[in-house]
Amino acid sequence: MQRVSKILTGASLAAAFAVSGTAHAGYFATIVIDDDHSDWAGVPVVDSDGADNAGFVDFADVQIANDDDFLYIRNTFHGAKSLGAFTGIDIDNDFDTGFNIFGINAIGQDAGWQNDFPFTSGDNVFNDGQGMTGDFFGSGAALLDAFADSNERELAISLDVLLNEDNSPLFPDNTIRLMFWTDQGQGDVSGVIDYTLAVPEPASMALIGLGGLAMLRRR
- The model's confidence at residue 20, banded by pLDDT at 50, 70 and 90, is low
Please tell me the distance from the alpha carbon of residue 109 to that of residue 163, in angstroms, as a whole number: 13
Q: Which amino acid is at 133?
A: T
Domain boundaries, position 186: 18-218
pTM, rounded to two decimals: 0.86
Q: Encode pLDDT of 197-214 as tens digits.
A: 999 987 554 444 544 434
Q: Sheet with 59-66: list strands edge to edge.
A: 45-48, 59-66, 70-77, 152-158, 143-145
9: in domain: no
How many domains does the chain fold into? 1
Residue 7 lies in a domain: no
Q: For residue 11, is it within any domain?
A: no
pLDDT tens-place string over residues 91-139: 999 988 999 999 999 999 999 999 999 999 998 899 999 999 999 999 9
CATH code assigned at 146: 2.60.40
